[in-house]
Amino acid sequence: MKIGFIGLGNMGAPMAANLASAGHEVTGFDMAEVAIDGVTMAQSAAEAATGRDVVITMLPNGQILRSVADQVIPVMQKGAVLLDCSTVDVESARAVAAQATEAGLLALDAPVSGGTGGAVAGTLTFMVGGDGEGFKIASELFDIMGQKAVHCGASGNGQAAKICNNMILGATMIVTCEAFALADKLGLDRQAMFDVVSTSSGYSWSMNAYCPAPGVGPKSPADNDYQPGFAAELMLKDLRLAQQAAEAADADTPLGEAACKLYAQFVEEEDGKGRDFSAMLPRFEKRGHS
């Protein structure tokens, strides 16, 4: 396929590289100067999108997505797929999808899970909302960039799935870190704690696959001084999107709200910025009961 890829940061660059190495013709654009093996760089978003079968966007927020959509939708050929892999607010995702559909395009919102490691390895999970025919066309690309793609229904539902998933993730990581800090103070060995919880009713992805305690469980950012696999500020972004959606939908999410407040404190008032979201564990180690 002829692919335009707009937004070549820590996630977008390896995704575009994987598509190019699989034999697709990839034209890219980013506001920063980047060079990616196999990717031809364009001078603008519109140039990257012109004549493409699929245009992929990986952008920081809904406002930038709307701006880029205004630039690329008018130059895209009818029947092409606009595939947004950004994590943005549901309202922006649905607005851009409506704009694309009106222009005769097939629109998909497909935020990802798996972080930069998954982007490099091609093992991302895509949560996809939007056009069913577009999903069929994009499936080949999902197979290259990821290990799984789930069609979640109408436009915006991919974003809904992502923020609901990450609300669970944020809350479970916090309580996993709390539990390790409590176990320390009760004299329970961390390995013993892991061996029990990882095979008992407390098991979770945060414990079993991404353990926040160094030297315990599979290798994780905790074993690399909490260098981010998924940065705390990105978790905060997703938790804020979840709270924005909860308010709009009149949904009661007290634990999600509490997780959002804790990550806001960690990132904006403490030392969480630039650290992995599992660095909540050393935070709790240093704190007493309040």
Q: Please give the positions annotated as active site.
A: 162
Residues composing the chain: 290
Q: CA-to-CA distance for 212 and 261, rounded, in angstroms?
A: 20
Let me know: does 260 contact 239? Beta carbons within 8 Å: yes
Helix axes 190-197, 157-185, angle to 10 degrees: 140
Q: CA-to-CA distance for 237 and 114, rounded, in angstroms?
A: 16
DSSP state, 42? P
Q: CA-to-CA distance for 71 and 59, rounded, in angstroms?
A: 14
Q: How far is CA 93 from each of CA 90, 125, 130, 179, rounded to the nearest angstrom?
A: 5, 18, 10, 37
User: Is beta strand 124-130 parallel, antiparallel or unpaired with respect to 112-113?
Assistant: antiparallel
Helix axes 157-185, 254-268, angle to 10 degrees: 70
| H/E element, 99 | helix 90-102
